[in-house]
Structure 1
Amino acid sequence: MLRFHFPELRLLITLLILLTNAVWAQLPTILPLQKPDSLFLSLKKKYNRAVERQDKLAEAVCLEEMGRVCYHLGHYPQSLDYHLQAGKRFRQVGKPAQVATNLNEIGELYYYSKKPQLARQHYNLALSIHQSLKNRLGVAVSYGHIGHLYEKQQRYDSAFYYQRQALQQYRQIDHKPGIAKIYENLGSIFEDLEQYDSARYYFQNALRLSKQTGDEIGRIEIINNLGDVLRKTGKYRESLQLSKEAIALASKTGEQHQLSGAYNDLAKGFSLLGKPDSAYQYVALSRENLKLIYSEEGNKQLALLQTLYDLERKNSEIEKLTVARNVNRIIAVSFTVVILLLGVSGFLVISRQRLKIRTEQALREQNQHIYETQHELIQAELRNKALEEENLKTELAVKAKELTTHTLHIIHKNQLLDELRGKLEDMTNDEKRDHKKQIRQLLQRINQSFQHDHYWEEFRSVFEQVHQTFFDNLKKHNESLTGNDLRLAALLKMNLESADIATLLGISQDSLRVIRYRLRKKFNLQQGESLTAFIQSL
């Protein structure tokens, strides 16, 4: 048999206690379920029936419970998937209270998955919904979760704030289990801050309320926390009494996790009292209990994993059979549809060809009739156009003849007037003064006759009928043309001689050259360009 000296044994016990603490700290804080595989199968069947009934609310409840089973066994990813599906269905059926509760549970999953930011986001969403519903209990639960999150981040001021907010909500609805839980949380914060008197005060209040509500499982944890405070303040014997009380309650309720923790706390107390044999005994008991817990948890998790695997395989086989059946059904329906389509298509093709032949024949007859009608119309139109063209040519010839006659008449008149003016000028040069006054009057009348616009208006009217757009084209090149400019351009368009133009305008040849020069400048003609050619091109 091995024998240890006292210091060596105490060191060994301390190491065992620390090792047990480390292992025990990894255990889930939520107690495991009994026969989770059976429970999960039952929930899965209920879920399938709900899917068949298309009962979204029942689907959501089953998914949420399935997520809780996975959460209790530490399968956080699978649990998160079920909770997310449940939350989606709760939203579809318009159940905000259930949505908020589900969000709090998702926040816990993110917390245990070491994702505090996501946990806080979901707690905040749950809190917002509960506040909008004026659900004080839901608000209190959300505040408690947020405060616990801040405590684990060692942000104690924020943790105190949210735990006290939760406590206020619980007190307003006189919810004693919730008040007890917040007292316990506050005690834990003070314990972390090594303010043991305050911690003990809150733990004792939590213990008192848990006794009133009959919560034996919650009382075990509170008793263990009180024992920790007493050990830290040197009250080892009092802590031993509390640890023994916790062992008795854990044994009574069958809570192996709490029993293992109580054994470990008892070992700490005996070690601090200098009783290594007793300490070693309870450390051994704690370790044996941990082995039993791990064995049971392993079996439960293995059973659940096997159940999940069987369900997945079964679902996969069902899905394959369903797909095969659907494929066969689709093939049969498709074959029938193809046969029907071929028959209908053949009938339609034949009917279409017959209709096409009849339609084409009718169209040919109709087109032939249209062609003959159009041909007759075109021939009639061509005859009308020829007659109109002949009439226009005749009219244009008449107008041209009138224009020439009118022009020659003006030339003849002006020549006659010019001749008379010359004779009268000769008479005025005569010394006979008694005829001078009358002759001057005649000359004045003749000069007025040269400038009279009446004949010009008649000339322009006839000219525009023969050359319709001539004056408009002139003004496009220069809009500031005078009446005299237009007259000269019209006479040039008629291709008259310069002498005839001078006679018509009643001016000399020199004056005509000056007017032609000015008109060239108005049209910006370059040196060498013919004014007559430019006028003829318009």
Structure 2
Amino acid sequence: MNKTVSNCISLVLSICFLWIILPGICYARNIDKSTIDSLIEKNPNAAFVKIKQALNRALKQNDQKAAAICYEYLAGLFYHQAAYPQAVAYYYKADRIFRRTNDQQNLARNLNNTGEAYYYSKQYNISLIKFQEALSLYKQLSDQKGIADSYGLIGQTYEKSGKYTDAMKYQQLALSKYKTLKDQSGIAKIYENLGSIYEDRPLMDSALFYYTRALELNKLNRNDLAQIEIINNIGDVYRKTGRYQQALVYTKRAEQMSLSMNDLYQLSSAYRDLSKNYDLMKRYDSAYHYSELGRGISLKIYTEDNNKQLALLQTLFEVQQKDDAISQFENEKKANQLIIIAGVLITALLVSLAASIISRQRLKLRNEQKLNEQNKELHEIQKYNIEAELELKSKELTSNTLHVIQSNQFLDELKTELSDMIRDDKRDQKKRLQQIVSKINQSINHDRHWTEFSAMFEQIHQTFFDNLKKHSDDLTANDFRLVALIKMNLSSKDMALLFGISQDSLRVSRYRLRKKLNIPQGENLSTFIQTL
């Protein structure tokens, strides 16, 4: 279907829609309906201003339905100026309100309108989604006319996508619905759509059949606007099938009707078709003549459409600026009032806050002072406990060490006495006494005592062994034991008893320890260890 006729039909439907619905919505807000009807066609800018005023009142009164309808009219204005992005933006605003208020009837109609805006901007995938959603809603509402309209729109979209089987399926579904409803205008439109599908395939006899039937119905309905496009299409079919004289008859007829109705879109189409027809007939002068006429009309249409779009967009911009200025003024007025109120409240709050801060600060200082005193007391208690514990551990270590020394001293004396017995001539006791001496030697160096000693020593001197390891990596377990005993200031005699060795052997062990720790000559081993 030609876009011009579709736009014109949509314009007529919009005017009818304004005539039926606008009185109930906008007239109550002092909008003159007859003025709107006239401005829609003759002066879109003025129509925009009127509808925008109605929209502002609806929004101010929180009349959601009225606002949504006004959004639809604004979208329709931009749609008829081929400003499809702006049209879609307003359709979506209406869409959100219809969904929020669960107004399914208006939502379905708005979805089809949105789909058409996407259709003419050649976004067929999106338009198909909108038409299918509208169809689903109409089916839920059992709205047969809405179902038929949606079928037809879906069929058109599939045709533009080159899916002729699907296009034919939905046009046939639409035709069946319109016939059931006895909707002659709907039937005529579907006949035209079917003719277009057959012309695209191309099946020219079938296309001519459906175009002819559509023309007959539009004559009965006295729809002159729709007839022009169909007559042009019939001329195209005759031209494409080589019947140039018959094509000229129909195309010239379309030219005359376009001139009489001042329809520049159809006139431009007729001129282009006449140029093509004369070119195929090898009448090149006539072909050139009509080509230039068509180019001139197209340029005029393009210029007028651009001017209308620019004027409408300029009006939109100016109205938006005005609305923004009013909104800013009202906001500033409210803001000034709020500032005065806020100033009084803030002053009172500041006084109250200052008193509260001073009171809290004093309380905080008292609490901090009390907390510091408690922490100090706690620290002293902890310090005393640690010192007491260390002192206790030191005493335990000393006691343990003395116990070991006494045990070893006792064992050493016992060993000496037994050794003397072994030197006697009583051979029968010698073997048994040797066994006792061996056990005593084992008892003197038992690891359990050293394990207990080492654990207790590390509790008292926590980092001692770590510091010692920094001076040498070759220290043995006996070296660590010797260093620990030196740290405790034990005498050489006591240390020899603890190790179960002679004092000469102990001197050798101390000498080896000095070398491992790299202690310079002349520096005392005990002094060095005490400083660790």
TM superposition score category, shorter chain reference: 0.5 to 0.7
1:256–1:189 CA distance, 2 compared to 1 (3 A): same
- Is 1:144 aligned with 2:144? no
**Partner Cα distance (2:3, 2:396) in 1:** 119
**Partner Cα distance (2:496, 2:364) in 1:** 76
**Partner Cα distance (2:408, 2:353) in 1:** 81
Q: Which of 165, 183, 198 matches 2:169? A: 165
Amino acid at match of 1:123: S
Q: Which of 184, 190, 193 matches 1:179? A: 190
Deviations 1:173-204 (A, max 9, x none): 235134222133146437xx5x6544432322
Between 1:337-346 and 1:486-495, the stretch displaced more is: 486-495
1:352-367 map, 5 Å = 352-353=357-358, 356-357=361-362, 360=365, 366=370
**Partner Cα distance (1:179, 1:387) in 2:** 105
Question: In the alignment, which residue of structure 1 is the partner of 2:430?
Answer: 443
Please report how far the alpha carbon of residue 90 of structure 1 lies from its aligned counterpart in structure 2 after TM superposition. Answer: 0.8
1:460-475 map, 5 Å = 469=456
Q: 1 or 2 for the larger relative contact order (CA 8 Å, sep ≥6)?
A: 1
Q: Which of 204, 213, 218 matches 1:210? A: 218
Question: In the alignment, which residue of structure 2 is the partner of 1:416?
Answer: 417
Q: Percent identity?
A: 16
1:403–1:418 CA distance, 2 compared to 1 (3 A): same
Q: Which of 91, 105, 108 matches 2:116? A: 105
1:39-118 map, 5 Å = 39-56=47-64, 58-72=66-80, 75-77=81-83, 79-91=84-96, 93-94=98-99, 97-98=108-109, 100-111=111-122
Q: Secondary structure at the match of 1:76?
A: coil
Between 1:441-450 and 1:219-228, the stretch displaced more is: 219-228
Please report how far the alpha carbon of residue 144 of structure 1 lies from its aligned counterpart in structure 2 after TM superposition. Answer: 1.1
1:314–1:423 CA distance, 2 compared to 1 (3 A): closer
**Partner Cα distance (1:387, 1:126) in 2:** 85
Please report how far the alpha carbon of residue 375 of structure 1 lies from its aligned counterpart in structure 2 after TM superposition. Answer: 9.7
Please report how far the alpha carbon of residue 106 of structure 1 lies from its aligned counterpart in structure 2 after TM superposition. Answer: 1.9
Task: Tell me if structure 1 keeps the 8 A contact 2:5–2:226.
Answer: no
1:496–1:105 CA distance, 2 compared to 1 (3 A): same
Aligned-residue Cα RMSD (Å) equals: 6.0
Task: Tell me if structure 2 keeps the 8 A contact 1:183–1:206.
Answer: no
**Partner Cα distance (1:378, 1:526) in 2:** 38
**Partner Cα distance (1:350, 1:127) in 2:** 68
Q: Secondary structure at the match of 2:191?
A: helix
**Partner Cα distance (1:237, 1:392) in 2:** 126
**Partner Cα distance (1:34, 1:451) in 2:** 128
Deviations 1:244-291 (A, max 9, x none): 69957985xx564589579969999x999x9x9xx9xx99xx989x99
1:125–1:450 CA distance, 2 compared to 1 (3 A): same
**Partner Cα distance (1:266, 1:410) in 2:** 134
Question: In the alignment, which residue of structure 2 is the partner of 1:13?
Answer: none
**Partner Cα distance (1:245, 1:396) in 2:** 123
Between 1:493-502 and 1:407-416, the stretch displaced more is: 493-502
Task: Tell me if structure 1 keeps the 8 A contact 2:218–2:224.
Answer: yes
Unaligned runs of 5+ in 1: 1-24, 112-118, 151-157, 425-438
1:417–1:145 CA distance, 2 compared to 1 (3 A): closer
Q: Secondary structure at the match of 1:452?
A: helix
Question: In the alignment, which residue of structure 1 is the partner of 2:125?
Answer: 121
Name the TM-score, length of structure 2 as normaliser.
0.59
Unaligned runs of 5+ in 2: 12-39, 140-146, 180-185, 460-464, 518-524
1:379-528 map, 5 Å = 381=384, 389=391, 402-424=403-425, 439-453=426-440, 456=443, 469=456, 495-496=492-493
1:218-367 map, 5 Å = 218-227=226-235, 229=237, 233-234=242-243, 236=245, 240=249, 254=261, 256-257=263-264, 260=267, 309=314, 312-350=317-355, 352-353=357-358, 356-357=361-362, 360=365, 366=370
**Partner Cα distance (2:238, 2:264) in 1:** 21
Q: Over alpha carbons, which structure has the higher Rg?
A: 1
Deviations 1:150-195 (A, max 9, x none): 5xxxxxxx364354233222233235134222133146437xx5x6
1:320–1:421 CA distance, 2 compared to 1 (3 A): same
**Partner Cα distance (2:481, 2:310) in 1:** 114
Between 1:59-68 and 1:232-241, the stretch displaced more is: 232-241
Task: Tell me if structure 1 keeps the 8 A contact 2:195–2:210.
Answer: yes
**Partner Cα distance (2:377, 2:209) in 1:** 116
**Partner Cα distance (2:430, 2:272) in 1:** 152
Question: In the alignment, which residue of structure 2 is the partner of 1:14?
Answer: none
Question: In the alignment, which residue of structure 2 is the partner of 1:30?
Answer: 7
**Partner Cα distance (1:258, 1:398) in 2:** 119
Please report how far the alpha carbon of residue 443 of structure 1 lies from its aligned counterpart in structure 2 after TM superposition. Answer: 1.9
Amino acid at match of 1:410: L
Q: How many residues are paired up? A: 441
Please report how far the alpha carbon of residue 448 of structure 1 lies from its aligned counterpart in structure 2 after TM superposition. Answer: 3.0
Task: Tell me if structure 2 keeps the 8 A contact 1:196–1:233.
Answer: no
**Partner Cα distance (1:403, 1:263) in 2:** 127
Name the TM-score, length of structure 1 as normaliser.
0.59
Please report how far the alpha carbon of residue 347 of structure 1 lies from its aligned counterpart in structure 2 after TM superposition. Answer: 4.4
Task: Tell me if structure 1 keeps the 8 A contact 2:188–2:215.
Answer: no
Task: Tell me if structure 2 keeps the 8 A contact 1:247–1:263.
Answer: no
